Every structure is written in C-alpha cells, then in structure tokens.
Chains A and B, each alone.
Chain A
Amino acid sequence: MSVLKFEEGNFEEEVLKTEGKVLVDFYADWCGPCKMMSPIIDDIANEVEGKVKVGKVNVDNNQELAIEYDVMSIPTIIVFENGKTIKTFIGVTDKNEILDTLK
C-alpha cells in the first residue's frame, strides 16, 4: 500500500470514519525538514501495509485541516484511532518511535 493523499474532500471518509489507526503526515513542498520526513513515512507505510492507513496532507492546499488540528509547525505527524487523535509528533521523528504508536 502506498502513501495516500488526504484532502479536505476525503479526510472525513478516509481518516475520521476509518476504524483502527491512521497516520497523517502534514507537510509542504517548500519545507526542507518535510523532505527528510518523506522517506521515513514511505518506509512506515511499507512496514504497516494492510494494517494501518498512511497518508499525507499538503498544508498549502488544505489550510482548514491544518487549522482544525492545530498544526503550527511542519512536519507534524498525527496518529488517529477510530477518528480521534491519539498521538502527535512535531518535527522530523525517528521511524521506530512512530512505529511504536502504530502497534
């Protein structure tokens, strides 16, 4: 399963109504640290394939979502479970630290 693209239009369906855990990476194309986070997110998506949905939100195109989830620094990675936020990581974060919350 590859990394999905979450947007204002599909966020409710893809993230909030999903049973179990969903990982969402808030990023922007101009953000240097986000580029370093990107391969880590790809790795995570491969490792949790079939178990956890993994996707990205471009904050430039989805400002309402960034505001809704109080994203004020990128990259921010939020883990949802049954539509509720259970963990937020701010800044480039180690893969294993994120994987621990997806178990």
Chain B
Amino acid sequence: MYDVIIIGAGPAGISAGLYTKRANLKVLIIYKDQSSLEKTEKIENYYGFENGIDGKELYKTGIRQAENLNIDVKKEEVINIQVGENKTYKVITEYGTYETKVVIFATGNKKNVPKIKGIKEFEGKGVSYCAVCDGFFYRNKDISVLGNGRYAIAETNELINIANSITILTNGEKAPEIRADNVKIDTRKIREVRGDKKVEEIEFEDNDKVKTSGIFVALGVAGSADFAKKLGVITNKDKIVVNENMETNMPGIYACGDCTGGILQISKSVYEGTKAGLQAIKYLKKEN
C-alpha cells in the first residue's frame, strides 16, 4: 500500500513527490505520456536560468531528482483507477495494480478528442468517454470503441459482456491485438458520425456506412479527465475542479498543474504540486 501515488512526472507531479517523500511517506510516481515541458525547446521565463533552459533537459532532471530521493518512479501506462476499501484507491497499469491512500493527478492538459465531425455534437447522446459509467445503456446493442491502444482494449473489455457486438474503430491506425467472439476491428478512416437525436451511423472515407448505437472514445493514453469522470471527480470542460488547496470533491484525490486549467506555466505547476503535496501530508496525518 502506497501513501501517495502521483500520476504524471512534469513539474507539478515531481514537486508533489518531493514534498510528500520528505514527509517520509511512501510515494510512487507513474508516468507515461510526454510532458508538454518535454516538447518545449527553450524556456526563458522561468526563475534562475540566466541563459534559459531546454524543456526536455529540465523534465529529465526533475525525474532524476525524484529518483535520487528514492521515490519509486515507474514508466507505465495507467489504464484505470478504482475506488478501493476504506478510503483507498487502486491504480491499474498494464503491469499491475497499486493500492494507495492518496491519488494526485498531474497529467497535464492533453485531451484526446478526435477531430471527427459529429463526435463533439453527440457527447452524451451516444458518444461516451466512460465504459464503466455508460455501458449499461448499451445492453445487447451493437456499439463501437474508438482507439487502438491499451486504454481502448481496457474499455472494450468493460463492454464485452454488456454489448451484443463491439467494433474497435482505429480510424486509420494499426489494429490492436484482441480476441473475443463479439469483437471486430475496423481500421478504416472515419469521415463523420451521424444521427438524428443520437448516434446512428458512422460514415467512412470510402463512403461506406455502418450502423452503431454508441461510440466509446478511448484514444491514446487516458488523461486525468478520463479517470476523473470514472471516479466521480467534478470536471469543468475537461479541467479538474479543485479548491485553493488542490483538493477535488473526493477525499484523498488532488489535482495540480495543467490539468486544473489556468495559465500553463512551470511556476504555476510547481506551486500547485507543492500545495497538493502539503495538503496530502495533512490529510494522511488526520486519517492515520
């Protein structure tokens, strides 16, 4: 059992890690996707670097700093987070399940909304971002999962026993490996999602049309907003809603950095990571 699991290893995640580790807590940082910091060539507006600093270098230095403090740092993909017993949470990756008392989201602001006509329009009307929340409404129906990575497979597995059939739509990407009687894979590029009041059909770029009752979006690596929705954390336009202490509406769940919205700056992420870490320390003292 970990005291704290931090998802994300950018400035917010690492800062939360430093403070919680220094309070002698058992801390795990899990990261997978590239931080926006890693893609920034040169940072010239952050305190203390007279000639600026390369974003990638700063990102890697942060991870090494955490490792040097003996924080567990794992490069794994989080595919699900579940509520456990007695105010604990289970963080599930492709390699295993980690239990923790506190989860700190520091996953950045990336959101995998596909640029397909109709997807946005039908959100909540046949387009879903959460299999475990909405699968019930598609019992014995023919539905689709959009994506091709581990997260798409995890969402498909949630739906296998509910739906009549599932078609994994890769939208031009390569087919994932999955074998089940009621699962098909279609790698064609999608032109549009159509329907009257709700999703009814998908039109491919080759002009072929296929009927579907629902589309579960599970592109790439799941982000904080995806997990937040599954858990019941309040979000607003895919930003996690936090108070001034970085607390969400759920006990023991915090968010910091770009995933809370506002200015996308290192300084803000460091502050929020620090605050989330300190608040988690207080929370664990009170709970133990």
Contact = CB atoms under 8 A, between A and B. Distances in A.
A72 B229 contact: no
Contact of B125 (A66, A70, A92, A97): A70
Nearest to B235: A91
B205 to A, nearest CB: 27
A31 B236 contact: no
Given A32-B83, A92-B249, A94-B241, A73 B232 contact: no
Interface stretch (B126-134, B185-193, B280-288): B126-134
B73 to A, nearest CB: 29
Interface stretch (A14-22, A34-42, A49-57): A34-42
A58 interface: no
A37 B134 CA distance: 15
A72 B214 contact: yes
B42 interface: no
Contacts of B83: 32
B123 interface: yes
A9 to B, nearest CB: 22
A33 B198 contact: no
A31 B137 CA distance: 12
A18 B235 CA distance: 31
Contacts of B114: none
B34 to A, nearest CB: 27
B250 interface: yes
Interface in B110-146: 123-126, 128, 130, 132-134, 136-137
Given A73-B124, A91-B229, A97-B236, A36 B133 contact: no
B198 to A, nearest CB: 6
A12 B236 CA distance: 32
Given A31-B133, A32-B132, A73-B137, A90 B232 contact: no
A72 B125 contact: yes
Contacts of B235: 91-92
Given A32-B230, A36-B231, A90 B124 contact: yes
Interface string A57-75: 0010000001000111110
A35 B125 contact: no
Considering residues B126, B130, B136, B233, which has the most beta carbons from chain A within 10 angstroms of its beta carbon?
B136
B197 interface: yes
A102 interface: no
Contacts of A70: 125, 197-198
16 contacts: A31-B136, A32-B231, A34-B232, A36-B234, A72-B124, A72-B125, A72-B126, A72-B134, A73-B124, A73-B130, A73-B133, A73-B137, A90-B123, A92-B229, A92-B232, A92-B233
Interface of B: 83, 123-126, 128, 130, 132-134, 136-137, 197-198, 214, 229-236, 241, 249-250
Given A33-B230, A66-B137, A92-B249, 15 more contacts: A32-B132, A32-B232, A35-B232, A36-B231, A36-B250, A71-B137, A72-B124, A72-B214, A73-B124, A74-B133, A74-B134, A76-B124, A88-B124, A91-B235, A97-B236
